[in-house]
């Protein structure tokens, strides 16, 4: 018999967070989170996303053993301001037993009904900065710190229970050697003269911080037309700034400003922490932090996390200035592979940005939907 338990305290939350460590034990492609960070992320006293969202955490038990987990999420800005009556679910993990999946998602449906919502979509997080989607192709490729990994049967479980594809995401990568540095140097110089733009490079995190709020304003304008977009509050921006900006290599954050020093484009790239996170086994101490700091400095693969161009400058090739900056930085650091985070399959604008690099789609993922 399968029973559900709602998570109500920190001790239980640790059980929720660590369940995937047993589910993916000895899987060489799964990348674990840092346990403490994950617990903090789910703490309403620490994560400001809960100012506009509710979440309920559940584990499924059989004979006292955890066999599944899920977070039932309502983003109230989405529901009330955007009038999108969506019940979200995320952090979904199960053994290969469809009855476990059914019990977990029936609970999500029940909460959706209680709140008069119209459909369920998942797996997705609280907003656009969270992980998204069930992996459907690319199970033999290493995961990243900003994507979920899952077993192939997840897709089968959801489809058997009547869920249908909602959004498709592609994950692409390319070799840095495919990038024509001479071309981007030439184009970048032309664009900077034509539009009176300037590229900003950094070596110290403190020099980046004054631009972060403005960066999210550009992010908001650049992504607001996407069907998945939910605005990010000032408190969430401050949380992101505190949690991530200080840990990203400052050389991997690039800005472009106009003649008035107004930000018009940005990109954030992270060194690949995947192998380092596997070595940490979810803990920063005693040796986990060393592995992460080593990756921050020496990783030869990088992940493009965010890139945005103010709509006023879109279709003008301004992203070439950013790529010129990265070409010079990556050449110095001996970067080998460039990996992109999940991007909507129908996002034609983003496809145009990357078309010169001979990208290869190595993973696909999707969210699933079902009416309540």
pLDDT in tens, 171-190: 999 999 989 999 999 999 99
- Model pLDDT, residue 230: 82
**209 vs 117 pLDDT, higher one:** 117
Has residue 306 got a pLDDT over 80? Answer: yes
CATH of the domain spanning 2-170: 3.40.630.30
Average pLDDT over residues 193-216: 94
Has residue 247 got a pLDDT over 90? Answer: no
pLDDT in tens, 89-131: 999 999 999 999 999 999 999 999 999 999 999 999 998 889 9
- Model pLDDT, residue 303: 95
Average pLDDT, rounded, for the chain: 94
Q: Give the span between the Cα atoms of 372 and 366, in whole angstroms.
A: 19
Q: Give pTM, 2 decimals.
A: 0.93
Q: Would you report the helix, strand and coil content of the chain in percent, each value rounded to 5?
A: 40, 25, 30
Q: Whose CA is closest to 92, among 150, 162, 175, 10?
A: 150
Confidence of residue 243 (pLDDT cuts 50, 70, 90): confident
Q: Whose CA is closest to 175, among 357, 361, 367, 372?
A: 357
Percentage, residues of the chain above pLDDT 90:
85
Average pLDDT over residues 236-256: 88
Confidence of residue 234 (pLDDT cuts 50, 70, 90): confident
Q: Please, where in the chain does CATH 3.40.630.30 lie?
A: 2-170, 174-366
Has residue 226 got a pLDDT over 80? Answer: no
- Model pLDDT, residue 199: 97
- Model pLDDT, residue 225: 77
- Model pLDDT, residue 229: 77
**231 vs 312 pLDDT, higher one:** 312
The answer to whether 142 and 171 are in contact (CB under 8 A) is no
Percentage, residues of the chain above pLDDT 70:
100
- Model pLDDT, residue 233: 87
Confidence of residue 165 (pLDDT cuts 50, 70, 90): very high
Q: Whose CA is closest to 274, among 209, 195, 213, 341?
A: 341
Helix (H, G, I), strand (E, B) or coil at 121: strand
Has residue 151 got a pLDDT over 90? Answer: yes
CB atoms within 10 A of CB 298: 11
pLDDT in tens, 31-58: 999 999 999 999 999 999 999 999 999 9
Sign of CA dihedral 240, 242, 244, 248: positive
CATH of the domain spanning 174-366: 3.40.630.30
118: Cβ contacts below 8 Å, ≥ 6 apart: 85, 86, 112, 371, 372
pLDDT in tens, 318-331: 999 999 999 999 99
């Amino acid at each position: 018999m399968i029973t559900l338990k709602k998570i109500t305290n920190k001790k239980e939350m640790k059980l929720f967070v660590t369940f995937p460590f047993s589910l993916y034990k000895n899987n060489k492609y799964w990348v674990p989170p840092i346990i403490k960070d994950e617990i903090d992320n789910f703490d309403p006293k620490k994560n400001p996303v809960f100012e506009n969202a509710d979440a309920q955490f559940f584990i499924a038990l059989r004979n006292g053993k955890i066999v599944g987990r899920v977070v039932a999420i309502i983003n109230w800005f989405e529901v009330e301001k955007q009038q999108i009556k969506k019940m979200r679910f995320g952090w979904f993990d199960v053994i290969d037993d469809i009855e476990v999946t059914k019990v977990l998602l029936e609970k999500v449906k029940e909460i959706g009904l209680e709140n008069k919502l119209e459909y369920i979509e998942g797996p997705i997080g609280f907003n656009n900065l969270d992980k998204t989607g069930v992996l459907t192709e690319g199970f033999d490729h290493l995961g990243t710190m900003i994507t979920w990994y899952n077993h192939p049967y997840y897709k089968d479980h959801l489809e058997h229970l009547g869920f249908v594809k909602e959004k498709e995401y592609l994950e692409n990568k390319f070799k840095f050697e495919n990038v024509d540095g001479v071309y981007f140097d030439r184009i970048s110089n032309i664009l900077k003269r034509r539009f009176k733009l300037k590229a900003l490079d950094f070596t110290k995190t403190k020099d980046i911080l004054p631009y972060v709020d403005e960066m999210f304003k550009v992010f908001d304008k650049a992504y607001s037309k996407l069907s998945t977009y939910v605005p990010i509050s000032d408190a969430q921006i401050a949380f992101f700034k505190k949690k991530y900006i200080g840990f990203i290599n400052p050389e991997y954050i690039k800005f472009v400003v106009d003649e008035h020093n107004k930000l018009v484009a940005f990109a954030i790239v992270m060194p690949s922490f995947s192998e380092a996170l596997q070595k940490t086994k979810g803990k920063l101490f005693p040796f986990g932090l060393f592995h992460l700091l080593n990756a921050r400095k020496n990783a030869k693969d990088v992940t493009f996390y965010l890139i945005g161009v103010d709509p006023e400058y879109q279709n003008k090739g301004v992203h070439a200035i950013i790529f010129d900056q990265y070409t010079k930085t990556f050449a110095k650091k001996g970067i080998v592979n460039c990996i992109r985070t999940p991007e909507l399959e129908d996002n034609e604008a983003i496809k145009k940005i990357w078309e010169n690099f001979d990208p290869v789609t190595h993973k696909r993922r999707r969210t699933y939907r079902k009416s309540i």
